Amino acid sequence: MAVSVSILAIIISLHLIAFVFAVGAERRRSTAKIVPDEYDERTYCMYASDASTVYGLSAFGLLLISQTVLNGVTRCPYK
């Protein structure tokens, strides 16, 4: 019983941290500026640093880790 409570606490904390990363990814969307090309008369979009991708991938990684832990503890095989 003590093992299941600790595993449940680990899984819930991983999901909560993943949720925080997902909200952070949504709030830190990248912005763009229209910049003129220095060689011809065209313009292009220049995006700022994209921290939202890192937050989103971190959230996905934490959810994947929590599912792996849960499947390992319950010995539920992938089929």
As a whole number, mean pLDDT of residues 30-54 equals 83
Comparing CA positions, the residue from 9, 16, 17 lying closest to residue 73 is 9
What's the pLDDT at 78?
A: 64
pLDDT greater than 60 at residue 44:
yes
What's the pLDDT at 39?
A: 87
- Among 4-8, 16-20, 71-75, the range of highest mean pLDDT: 16-20
Per-domain boundaries in the chain: 2-74
As a whole number, mean pLDDT of residues 24-39 equals 84
CA–CA separation, 17 and 26 (whole Å) = 14
CA–CA separation, 17 and 62 (whole Å) = 8
Supply the pTM of this predicted model. Answer: 0.68
pLDDT tens string 10-22: 999 999 999 999 9
